[in-house]
Amino acid sequence: MSIKDTICPRCGNPSEEGLCGPCRLHEIEWVTVSPRVEAIICPTCGSRKVGSSWADLESDKESLARSLVIDGIVFHPDVTDHAMEMTIRDISVNRSKAYLKISGKCYGIPVQGEYQVLIVLGREQCDRCCRISGSYYEGIIQVRGEGRRLTEWESRRAAEIAWQAEDAAQQGGDRLSFVSSIDNSKDGIDVIVSSLGIGQSIVTDISSFFGARSTSHPKLVGEKEGKRLYRVTWSIRLPRIVRGDVVSMKNDYYLVSGSDGTTLRTKHLLTQQPRSFRDEETIRVIGNIRDAEEAMVTYHEGDTIGILDPKTHLPLEIPSPKGCHTQAGGVVNILRDGEMLVVVGY
Ligand SMILES: [Zn+2]
Ligand SMILES: [Zn+2]
């Protein structure tokens, strides 16, 4: 042990260098605690205002209060062995108080203190809730069929695609992009959207899913902060014939695997040969394979298959598709074309 003959110039006690520990501690603030912290919260959805913008809150209010208090505590860099106990008590709806016991070590001396922090949660409706409550919208997407009504399945599927796009936008942090409502009309659905961005992505998703065409009609509705405000009406037309439809052409039946609105990609239901042809008015849609019924097979011989009509339970003999090996006791999927039953799957 080396004895240094330095003494503290202030109190005269021994010191390793300059002021002794207690005197140095006296010179500094080992911890500072903000006596009041605050945050602004949306009472409707709980998101938090940060600066001038809003962010969705990842945690509950208790955790928010704790992190606000902790952010208000600053230790002197020479403090080690930090420890803290915090209890929070609610005072009113938007005020609570944190009771803190803080301790540590500074210049070899244990330090501790008790503090109180007032936590104030201000309330303000956020940008998103303002839009929602004001029924704000920037676009309408009208989904219709080309010369026909949407089927129930198509309406449901288009709505699902819209909600999925909203989920993706919200998860991507695009708070102001949402679906305001989806209205069923006689001929299809109307999707009301809060921003042009989400509108465009829903239009793209629905159009590519159904192989549909879309057009957009922007309309200038005013100006805000020097920017022109547009409201857009999109119109999506699902083709007359869509994927999964079974069509009849010149007494042959084809299953449609895709369509770009003018050309149909198909498969001949008996020969299984692929074939593409133009959508013309002479082509008739007899149904969609989603709506096929199951029919019991009674026998199968060569190109002929015997089935029981699931409605009348009467036996019928119909052509068997190439490659179909379903034997008696099995089932095949059929669609009706008037009196005719057509095997569409096996
Ligand atoms: Zn001293
Ligand atoms: Zn809100």
Q: Is residue 129 part of a domain?
A: no
Interval between CA 100 and ligand 1 midpoint (Å): 29
Among 123, 147, 175, the domain boundary falls at 123
255 token code pair: 């299953």
The pLDDT of 100-110, averaged and rounded, is 94
Alpha helix positions (H), the chain: 21-27, 61-71, 127-133, 152-171, 196-210
pLDDT greater at residue 146 or residue 112: 112
Cβ atoms 115, 34 nearer than 8 A: no
Report whether pLDDT(308) > 90: yes
My answer on whether 90 and 152 are in the same domain is no
The pLDDT of 242-258, averaged and rounded, is 92
Q: Is residue 340 part of a domain?
A: yes
Interval between CA 127 and ligand 2 midpoint (Å): 7
Q: Note the ligand closest to the C-alpha atom of 23.
A: 1
Split at pLDDT 50, 70, 90, the class of 210 is: confident
Number of neighbours of residue 156 by Cβ within 10 angstroms: 13
> What pLDDT, on the 0 to 100 scale, is given for residue 3?
53
Among 123, 145, 171, the domain boundary falls at 123
Q: Note the ligand closest to the C-alpha atom of 11.
A: 1
Interval between CA 42 and ligand 2 midpoint (Å): 5
Report whether pLDDT(2) > 60: no
> What pLDDT, on the 0 to 100 scale, is given for residue 174?
85
My answer on whether 275 and 305 are in the same domain is yes
My answer on whether 234 and 139 are in the same domain is yes
CA distance 55 to 175: 8
Q: Note the ligand closest to the C-alpha atom of 178.
A: 2
CA distance 88 to 98: 4
Among 123, 146, 179, the domain boundary falls at 123
pTM over the 0.75 mark = no
Interval between CA 40 and ligand 1 midpoint (Å): 46
Q: Is residue 284 part of a domain?
A: yes
pLDDT greater at residue 286 or residue 3: 286
Question: How wide is the angle at C-alpha 28 spanned by C-alphas 85 and 105, nearest 5°?
Answer: 45
Q: Note the ligand closest to the C-alpha atom of 56.
A: 2
Q: Is residue 307 part of a domain?
A: yes
Interval between CA 158 and ligand 2 midpoint (Å): 27
3-state secondary structure of 51: coil
45, 146, 313, 325, 332 from 296: Cα distances, Å:
55, 36, 9, 13, 7
Summarize pLDDT for 149-199 with one digit per residue, the tens: 998 889 999 999 999 999 999 888 888 898 988 999 888 999 999 999 999
CA distance 288 to 74: 69
> What pLDDT, on the 0 to 100 scale, is given for residue 32?
95
**How would you class 123 by CB atoms within 10 Å of its CB: exposed for 0-12, middle for 13-18, buried for 19 or more?**
exposed
Short-list 140, 142, 197, CA closest to 168: 197
> What pLDDT, on the 0 to 100 scale, is given for residue 1?
39
Looking at every residue in the chain, the average pLDDT score rounds to: 90
pLDDT greater at residue 233 or residue 61: 233
75, 86, 95, 126, 299 from 65: Cα distances, Å:
19, 11, 10, 19, 75
CA distance 319 to 342: 8
Interval between CA 336 and ligand 2 midpoint (Å): 52
For the chain, give the percent of residues with pLDDT over 90.
Answer: 60
CA distance 23 to 12: 10
Report whether pLDDT(135) > 80: no
Q: Is residue 11 part of a domain?
A: no
The owner of tokens 């394979």 is 289
Interval between CA 298 and ligand 2 midpoint (Å): 63
Short-list 75, 86, 73, CA closest to 35: 73
Q: Is 198 left (phi over 0), alpha (psi -120 to 50) or beta?
A: alpha
The owner of tokens 């009674």 is 298
Report whether pLDDT(113) > 90: yes
> What pLDDT, on the 0 to 100 scale, is given for residue 5?
67
Q: Where are any strands of DSSP class E within 45-178?
A: 48-50, 53-55, 73-75, 79-90, 95-106, 109-123, 139-145
CA distance 266 to 284: 14
Q: Which amino acid is at 291?
A: D
Poorest-pLDDT segment among 50-54, 114-118, 302-306? 50-54
Interval between CA 177 and ligand 2 midpoint (Å): 13
Q: Which residues pair with 344 in a beta bridge?
A: none
228: containing domain: 135-238
pLDDT greater at residue 282 or residue 99: 99
Report whether pLDDT(4) > 70: no
Interval between CA 130 and ligand 2 midpoint (Å): 7
Split at pLDDT 50, 70, 90, the class of 313 is: very high
Cβ atoms 68, 119 nearer than 8 A: yes
Interval between CA 168 and ligand 2 midpoint (Å): 18
Interval between CA 9 and ligand 1 midpoint (Å): 7
Interval between CA 14 and ligand 2 midpoint (Å): 62
149 token code pair: 């009504």
Interval between CA 79 and ligand 1 midpoint (Å): 18
Split at pLDDT 50, 70, 90, the class of 294 is: very high
pLDDT greater at residue 3 or residue 102: 102
Interval between CA 6 and ligand 1 midpoint (Å): 11
My answer on whether 265 and 337 are in the same domain is yes
For the chain, give the percent of residues with pLDDT over 70.
Answer: 99
My answer on whether 231 and 249 are in the same domain is no
Summarize pLDDT for 72-99 with one digit per residue, the tens: 999 999 999 999 999 999 998 889 999 9
> What pLDDT, on the 0 to 100 scale, is given for residue 18?
85
How many helices, marked H, and strands, marked E, lie in the chain? 5, 23
My answer on whether 145 and 205 are in the same domain is yes
Q: Note the ligand closest to the C-alpha atom of 19.
A: 1
Q: Note the ligand closest to the C-alpha atom of 42.
A: 2
3-state secondary structure of 63: helix
Count: domains in the chain? 3
* Residues around the ion ligand 1 (C-beta < 5 A): 8, 10-11, 20, 23
141, 283, 286, 311 from 339: Cα distances, Å:
39, 18, 12, 12
